[in-house]
Amino acid sequence: MDSALASEGAVYLRQSVQTAVKLLVVGHFAVGKTTFVGSLSEIRPLRTEETMTQAGALVDDLAGIDGKTTTTVAMDFGRVTLSDSLVLYLFGAPGQQRFTRLWQDMTHGALGALVLADTRRLEQSFDVMGLLEEHGLPYAVAVNHFDGAPAFPEEEIREALDLLPETPLITCDARDRVSSTRALIALVEYLRDRRSVQEPV
Amino acid sequence: MTPPAPRRGEGLVRPYVVTDGRAHPTRNTFDLVTLVIAMHDRPLAGLSPEKVRLMELCLGGPLSVAEIAGHLTLPVSVTKVLLGDLVDSGHLITRAPIPSAELPEAQILQEVLDGLRARL
């Protein structure tokens, strides 16, 4: 990793970058978050880990977990330079990290979230969708295409996920850069339009 | 798919030893995407080994807090403590993300959209 830093200038941001924004890519275990982030990122996705201990001052959240005094949470993230002055970070994390400082760090100031879903396990998306709603974070849902997974009409998926009429529902292939980019575009269009409806200029 | 960077050896030192036992930074201004820029005119002599590593990383160019933690394989909370000290000592400056209350968010969202569309 050190040699990559020394030899690849691309690892660093442009000096002209002024603004960094973040979007979350969330979903249950093995739904394709890291793949999605990796398809879009200009850097090799990085991982940060946080060990929750007493020093983490989150002791209450561990109460009731038998004999468990520490736990490790992780998130993978990537980076997309969008212009000379603007860079986008994509953070991927599962919902069970809800009580951690890392989750708070991730959601703080995030523009919105893309929920990745798998048609074979749609019910597992409720947890993270509820979590985003608790945080007041707007989201779109992207059904990640898995080979051999059943394809359902959009209406059935909407109903199964109990989506609001305005929540965008997209299908994507997290392995494909263009497909993943389109999913993010759908999310950001929604965030922009939603805002202009809320606050007419 | 590119796998995440391999983990370095766990090292001999527990994370909070490198922060002198502190779990919180001296300032509360670090977001995961706060941009960090190193000052080239500050001596590294006298800094702890972890701070020297951090400075050597940052002297190459701007990085976000999250990237610094990822490259150094340090927990974000520990990284923030080290960054706070280095900002206090004048080794680093930060370019904070625009506070959300002041964010001209519609404009930012349009710029994000334009940037993403240009990548298709």
pLDDT for position B105: 83
Question: Using CB atoms, which residue from A44, A178, A191 is nearest to B2?
Answer: A44
Residues 6+ apart with CB under 8 A from B83: B25, B30, B36, B54, B65, B68, B92, B94
The encoded tokens of residue A98 equal: 């809800």
A70 pLDDT tier (thresholds 50, 70, 90): low
A139-144 β-sheet, strand order: A46-52, A71-81, A86-93, A19-26, A112-117, A139-144, A169-172
Q: A178 touching B, CB under 8 A? A: yes
Model pLDDT for residues A149-177, shown as the tens digit of each residue: 888 899 999 999 999 999 999 999 999 99
How long a stretch of residues is chain A?
Answer: 201
> Average pLDDT, stretch A45-49?
85
Of B84 and A199, more confident: B84
pLDDT for position A144: 94
Residue of A nearest to B100 (CA): A109
- All residues of chain B having their beta carbon less than 8 Å from the beta carbon of residue A12 are 60-63
Cβ pair A41, B64 in contact under 8 A: no
Torsions phi, psi for A76 (to 5 deg): -105, 145
Q: What is the enclosing helix (H) or strand (E) of B55?
A: helix B49-58
| A109/B110 CB distance under 8 A | no
Query: Is residue A7 over pLDDT 50?
Result: no
Query: Is residue B39 over pLDDT 60?
Result: yes
| B63/A12 CB distance under 8 A | yes
pLDDT for position A107: 87
Residues 6+ apart with CB under 8 A from A78: A37, A38, A40, A41, A42, A43, A45, A46, A89, A90
- Helices then strands, each counted (H, E), chain B: 4, 3
- All residues of chain B having their beta carbon less than 8 Å from the beta carbon of residue A188 are 109, 112-113, 116
A59 pLDDT tier (thresholds 50, 70, 90): very low
- All residues of chain B having their beta carbon less than 8 Å from the beta carbon of residue A196 are 106
> Average pLDDT, stretch A134-162?
92
Question: What share of chain A in percent tops pLDDT 70?
Answer: 79
What is the pTM (predicted TM-score) of this model? 0.84
pLDDT for position B98: 59
Q: How far apart are CA B3 and CA A76, in angstroms?
A: 10
Q: How far apart are CA A86 and CA A18, in angstroms?
A: 6
Q: How far apart are CA A62 and CA A51, in angstroms?
A: 12
| B108/A111 CB distance under 8 A | yes
Closest of B103, B91, B2, B109 to residue A174, by C-alpha: B2
The encoded tokens of residue A35 equal: 């793949």
Model pLDDT for residues A74-117, shown as the tens digit of each residue: 889 999 999 999 999 999 977 665 666 777 888 888 999 999 99
Query: ipTM greater than 0.90, yes or no?
Result: no
| B109/A12 CB distance under 8 A | no
pLDDT for position A165: 95
Going through chain B in order, the beta strands assigned E by DSSP cover 35-38, 63-64, 92-95
Model pLDDT for residues B66-111, shown as the tens digit of each residue: 999 999 999 888 999 999 999 999 999 998 665 555 557 888 999 9
Determine how β-strand B35-38 pairs with β-strand B63-64. antiparallel
